Structure 1
């Protein structure tokens, strides 16, 4: 599998930096190869094209993130704690990696439909975790029994996404992670029983 090949991670990490610094459209494969310390042709052993690199960056980073969230929330005792952990980890993941924050909040917003569909496919695992937390909260009696899970999940994801986008647009001039408790308070007070 190509993900286990030694240069794959090097190329992914280089792509995050190059795309964040130059924008997706101005990021030639040759720039990514140079940053990764590989020949241009080596890129094509791992990726079909630049679009494939962008989607692979998101798959790789989001896959790692989903695994960390699953591990963390397994240790929490109720849905409220799990939701707080998800929010805090979402913010922390992007607060500690400026380049990844720029790529996910700005450069992944491409207008090509097939690219959007691939990115949405990657998000399904993350969305499923939010759904599980909400269902658990309803079962625990923490959240309103008539909760529209799909709508609330969209609102949670949309809120987190907008908070991070605003932080990136404001050139990261404030502590993103510190926003987690206010966002959690706002969301849980809107859905509690």
Structure 2
């Protein structure tokens, strides 16, 4: 496989997002992705083994950028509740800015086979670790209840964000996704804080 920093690699991944969002993963032939990217069919195989490899690579690349942006923003903040809000807001804003990517992550990645799901879960680990770090920090500094089950709370947090975005995608993005951030933060934060 050729170097991931080559311009055609990114071009193919961006084309794949649009083609998969428009046609669904199963109806997205490599030739359609190549045409959208403006490259020959064979060029794709210089960068990717097959269509599944494109989907996993796309998720790795986009999720890597997604987590990196969120991490950079929350590193500027001091309090765990502010970091939690920033994570929620950015989760929504980044997907709202790229509706095709939202369709791929919320719908197309869910229909995949077990091997693909395991690879995707691997990619998610960095994001889930970031959530764990915010929760742990909040427990340690007294922002959140000190006896939280971090793993369970992280599942609730991720599941909530995921469902809010899925609902937005299913409703054809008819409302502002980012407008949900404040209510979601209020709900999660009030469930996490120490009421003692």
Alignment of 1:58 onto 2:63? no
- 1:11-30 map, 5 Å: 11-30=12-31
Aligned to 2:147: 146
CA distance in 1, matches of 2:3, 2:62: 16
CA distance in 2, matches of 1:97, 1:176: 12
Aligned to 1:112: 113
TM normalised by structure 1 equals 0.99
2:19 alignment partner, SS class:
helix
- 1:41-190 map, 5 Å: 41-190=42-191
1:25 alignment partner, SS class:
helix
Render the CA deviation track for 1:96-129: whole Å, top value 9, x for unaligned.
1110010000001024110000000000000000
Following TM superposition, where does structure 1 have runs of at least 4 consecutive aligned residues deviating by more than 4 angstroms?
A: none
Aligned length: 193
CA distance in 1, matches of 2:187, 2:10: 38
The 10-residue stretch of structure 1 (12-21 or 108-117) with the greater mean CA deviation from structure 2: 108-117
Give the CA RMSD over aligned residues.
Answer: 0.7
CA distance in 1, matches of 2:143, 2:180: 22
